[in-house]
């Protein structure tokens, strides 16, 4: 019984520390698939629970899923880097517009990375490209 009480206290302290630790979260709704030549606006939301207003950055990059090489320029990713300033628990919404090249075949990866101070979050999506 004594060990169970100690375990419960440790879990409570750990949960409290985790709940209070600052975090940053990216959310986005990527396309299921895109056609060659199709344009798309990827809407992203960044939230955090920092105790003070924070300024950070969010980047969007594209990789060929098969070769893992950058295809940013080919996808006309014009504004791949954006700054954000938010207060705690208030979402910052931004968009990244891009166009799939007419000649692109296969799949590509969308990589989003948000960072404020030394806290970072990232997400990746694989999107197949179909013929027109």
What DSSP character marks residue 32?
A: S
Q: Helices (DSSP H) in the chain: which residue ranges? A: 2-20
- Asked if CATH classification 2.60.40.10 holds for the domain at 22-130, the reply, yes or no, is yes
Can you tell me the distance from the alpha carbon of 59 to that of 84, in angstroms, rounded to the nearest whole number?
Answer: 11
Output 89 or 94, whichever has higher pLDDT: 94
Count CA atoms within 13 Å of residue 122 on its CB side.
10
Q: What is the CA radius of gyration of the chain?
A: 19
Q: Would the pLDDT of 9 be above 60?
A: no
- Percent of the chain residues past pLDDT 70, beyond the cut: 83
């Amino acid at each position: 019984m004594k060990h169970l009480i100690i375990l419960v206290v440790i879990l409570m302290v750990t949960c409290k520390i985790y709940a209070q630790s600052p975090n940053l979260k990216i959310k986005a709704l990527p396309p299921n698939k895109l056609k060659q030549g199709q344009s798309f606006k990827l809407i992203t939301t960044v939230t955090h629970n920092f105790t003070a207003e924070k300024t950070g950055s969010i980047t969007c990059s594209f990789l060929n899923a098969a070769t893992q090489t950058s295809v940013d320029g080919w996808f006309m990713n014009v504004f791949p880097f954006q700054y954000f300033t938010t207060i705690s628990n208030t979402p910052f919404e931004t968009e990244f517009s891009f166009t799939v090249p007419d000649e692109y075949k296969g799949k590509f990866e969308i990589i989003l990375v948000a960072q404020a101070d030394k806290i970072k979050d990232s997400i990746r999506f694989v999107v197949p490209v179909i013929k027109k």
